[in-house]
Amino acid sequence: MGKLKLIIKREFLAKVRNKSFIVLTILSPLLMVGLFSLIIFLNEKNSEEIRTVAFVDESQQLASVFSDTEATKYIDLTALGLEEARVKTKEFYYGLVYIPKSDSLVNLSKGITFFSEDTPSLSLLSEIENKLEKKIRDLKIEQLHVDTDKIKAAETAIEIATENFSGEKSSKIGSILRMVTGGGFGYLIFMFIIIYGTSVMRSVIEEKTSRIIEIIISSVKPFQLMLGKIIGNALAGILQFIIWAISAGLILTAITYIFGVEAASSGSSIGQMNPEMIQQMQASSTNDLQLVLQEIKNLPILTMFFSFIIYFLGGYLIYSSIYAAIGAAVDSETDTQQFMMPVLMPLIIAIYVGFSVIENPHGPIALGFSLFPLTSPIVMLMRIPFGVPWWQIITSMLLLIITFIAIVWFAAKIYRVGILMYGKKPSYKELYKWLKY
């Protein structure tokens, strides 16, 4: 047991002290933060810029539409006439909205044109379009002598609430939340297996090429060495993920702190709206937040947590021992190609199946791949947030554990023989022979 600890410690330190590990661990969060800050910064910059848009309203009916907003100021150039207004706009303003004269309300919407130097911003165009549409609609309603209050009373907003048969409320937000958590967990395992499985394989190849392997296994059992390597690398990986999680948390808080203040200050423009609207908005936003919280509470968090640990361990151990066996079988990393494909295949299939599982979490494909042990760590984790019967989870875990034991046994055999073989490019037939040594 003491020797296993020594090996784990060495493998962990060798990994953690590696320059690329340090760079990746520190740089990734910084890079992410940099990228996010850049996006946010550019967004802010974009919205800070105030555009001035001129308009010429020859119909004399729509000028009231053009009230200033946060990002846009409107200037009435009707008095100048179209030609002069165009010249002036070209020189000073962002664009010009031209509304031609019209004989009736029906034709009012025709021939409205936006002149500008560059292609105009789509959001600005649709904003103006919306405003005009609404105004013209109001005018038409007025002309038809329909009571606007009655129309307002007839308007409804609908959101369908969903509920399952055991009475738990669910919602669209809920399904999204399930997709995100399930998909996130599955993807996390996928990434971890690939990154740290490969790292185990490299470490085995390094011992082979540096020829230290025979010295080590004259002191410890090959199985101990393999296990120590797998655990040591996993610990380094977990450390990396923890560092990322903590720094992501810190950075997120920092960002929300810095930008949160600004958001609040820009929120003061709400004051210009009428109090009724504000009330409505607040009510709906607290409602949403409550719903999300409610949904989070509804997730089978405990099941998710424990099954994440079991599937994570099972999946990682299975795949990293296969990686270790591959590393032992070859002489250099370039020889690993022919063995890598069959290993990556089930992982990639699992991710693809995972996406369809999110659409239909209880279909036959979802069930099959969440029981099959080479894909279950990813697929089952994606299913669990949607609620999976206990017998399925237990069957899947049992299959996982049995496969884990079998694969580690096979891998250890190949590993034991392979680490002492040099200069042979092994075929599958050769590997099969090693199992019998």
86 interacts with another protein by CB under 8 A: no
206 interacts with another protein by CB under 8 A: yes
Distance between CA atoms of 25 and 244, rounded to whole angstroms?
7
- Provide the residue count of the chain: 437
For the bound state, the minimum distance from the C-beta of residue 192 to another protein, rounded and expressed in Å, comes to 24
The 305-344 contact track toward another protein, x by CB under 8 A, reads: ----------------------------------------
Nearer to another protein, 7 or 411 (CB): 7
The 216-255 contact track toward another protein, x by CB under 8 A, reads: xxxxxx----------------------------------
Residue with tokens 């279950």: 376
- 253, exposed or middle or buried, with CB in 10 Å at 0-12, 13-18, 19+? exposed
Contact segment (CB under 8 A) with another protein among 5-13, 286-294, 327-335, 367-375 equals: 5-13
Nearer to another protein, 19 or 45 (CB): 19
Residues 392-421 that bind another protein (CB under 8 A): 420
Nearer to another protein, 11 or 295 (CB): 11
437 interacts with another protein by CB under 8 A: yes
For the bound state, the minimum distance from the C-beta of residue 317 to another protein, rounded and expressed in Å, comes to 23
Distance between CA atoms of 188 and 58, rounded to whole angstroms?
61
Nearer to another protein, 59 or 203 (CB): 203
422 interacts with another protein by CB under 8 A: yes
For the bound state, the minimum distance from the C-beta of residue 267 to another protein, rounded and expressed in Å, comes to 55
3 interacts with another protein by CB under 8 A: yes
Which residues are at the interface with another protein (CB under 8 A)?
Answer: 3, 6-7, 10, 14, 18, 206-207, 210-212, 214-221, 420, 422, 433, 436-437
